[in-house]
Amino acid sequence: MGAWKVLREVTATRYVEPLHSGGSVPGVVEADDLGTYVVKFTGSAQGHKALVAEVIVGELARALGLRFPELVLVDFDPAIAADEPHQEVRDLHAASAGVNLGMDFLPGAQDFTPQLAELFPVDPLEAGRIVWLDALTVNVDRTVHSSNLMVWPTLGVAPPRLWLIDHGAALVFHHRWDTSVPEKAYDFRHHALGRYAPDTRAADAALAPRVTERLLRDVLAEVPDAWLTDFGSPGEMREAYVGYLLARVRASAEWLPTDFPGRDQVAAEEAARTARTQRGRPDWLKRVPDLHGKPAAEQDWSVHLG
């Protein structure tokens, strides 16, 4: 591996639109490098820890050969979004003046939904590597209901590939440093790729030796000091992340997910969940069509990077 590169810095020059589909209401912006980015704002309710997780997991993914859009640091002036009509979004912008986190925008990308998954084959080796990364970083937000995976280029354009996005909910241990242990098992029962028989043993053999102390220090060097505010100095925070993740990768035998449910079991669990949901609904609402069950060809594959 060559010299490690820190995140590039760009300046937002045009605000395009907010993405209300994401809980943090990221925004699409154009920048002075002529690129288009989805910006996660520092003033969002998720706070700096979500941005720290985005950088650490995203850059680990890239270092391990998984597809992940480039991250940049975006200098954002709220004045460029003065015409935004929603007051809560303007408040978010006002609280986010300065450096924010941008992810390269994938034009026309499709959400990897359960319906699209029926059309899109995923190799067990690739599925295993993604599940392994999620287990290492304790990512609780790559489920069948919210995959945070994109297919890009779109179907019909060869060859479409899976891209990872949105890791703000990973690294749950940094919300409870005092009680979390590196050996903790990973709950993978509803992982978005569980149906593809992920080969996590092969992934562990290939990837664990690559997650070295040097790599982790390089990745943590990309996190801005201003976002490392839990305790002590930024340097002490970086050491805490490096130490925890290094201990976790060395304990992979304790948390490695291997026994994934089959397609029939997943379908049965989904049917049971739907039945439980229906029991508490009034009769008129039970007759509302299930839009999530529409055939893939009828879906609205709108871009979602939030």
pLDDT at 296 (0 to 100): 36
What is the mean pLDDT of the segment spanning 13-28?
A: 87
Is residue 186 in some structural domain?
A: yes
Neighbours of 228 (CB within 10 A): 21
Is residue 300 in some structural domain?
A: no
Domain count, the chain: 3
Residues 165 and 220 in one domain: yes
Relative to beta strand 36-40, strand 110-111 is unpaired
Residue 302 confidence (pLDDT) above 50: no
Structure-block tokens of residue 68: 């992940």
Residues 99 and 131 in one domain: no
Residues 6+ apart with CB under 8 A from 253: none
Neighbours of 265 (CB within 10 A): 13
Residues 95 and 157 in one domain: no
pLDDT at 303 (0 to 100): 38
Residues 93 and 66 in one domain: yes
What is the mean pLDDT of the segment spanning 4-12?
A: 87
* pLDDT 10s digits, 109-129: 999 998 888 888 899 999 999
* pLDDT 10s digits, 209-262: 999 999 999 999 999 999 999 999 999 999 999 999 999 999 999 999 988 876
Residues 168 and 198 in one domain: yes
Share of the chain above pLDDT 70, in %: 85
Reference 305, options 95, 152, 134; nearest CA is 152
Residue 37 confidence (pLDDT) above 70: yes
Higher per-residue confidence, 24 vs 137 = 137
pLDDT at 295 (0 to 100): 37
Residues 236 and 270 in one domain: no
Residues 68 and 204 in one domain: no
What is the mean pLDDT of the segment spanning 278-306?
A: 44
The phi, psi pair for 157, rounded to 5°, reads -115, 115
Relative to beta strand 161-164, strand 149-152 is antiparallel
Residues 180 and 245 in one domain: yes
Q: Worst-scoring range by mean pLDDT, 88-102, 105-119, 187-201, 282-296?
A: 282-296
The conformation of residue 143, written as its DSSP 8-state character, comes to: B
pLDDT at 292 (0 to 100): 38
Reference 90, options 27, 138, 139; nearest CA is 27
Residue 305 confidence (pLDDT) above 60: no
Domain boundary among 85, 104, 123: 104
Residues 100 and 114 in one domain: no
266 burial (CB, 10 Å; 0-12 / 13-18 / 19+) is: middle
Domain boundary among 77, 104, 131: 104
In angstroms, rounded to a whole number, what is the distance separating the alpha carbons of residues 141 and 116?
18
Domain of residue 280, residue span:
263-290
Residues 97 and 150 in one domain: no
Reference 147, options 108, 110, 121; nearest CA is 110
Structure-block tokens of residue 119: 């059309």
* Predicted structure pTM score: 0.84
In angstroms, rounded to a whole number, what is the distance separating the alpha carbons of residues 304 and 239?
34
Residue 298 confidence (pLDDT) above 80: no
Residues 116 and 162 in one domain: yes
Maximum distance among all Cα pairs of the chain, rounded to whole angstroms: 62
Examine residue 159 and say whether the peptide bond preceding it is cis (omega within 30 degrees of 0).
yes
Higher per-residue confidence, 1 vs 106 = 106
Is residue 222 in some structural domain?
A: yes
Mean pLDDT of the chain: 87
Given a contact cutoff of 8 angstroms between Cβ atoms, the answer to whether 137 and 167 are in contact is: yes
* pLDDT 10s digits, 53-81: 999 999 999 999 999 999 999 999 999 99
In angstroms, rounded to a whole number, what is the distance separating the alpha carbons of residues 164 and 193?
12
Residue 285 confidence (pLDDT) above 50: no
Share of the chain above pLDDT 90, in %: 70
Confidence of residue 1 (pLDDT cuts 50, 70, 90): very low
Residues 23 and 54 in one domain: yes
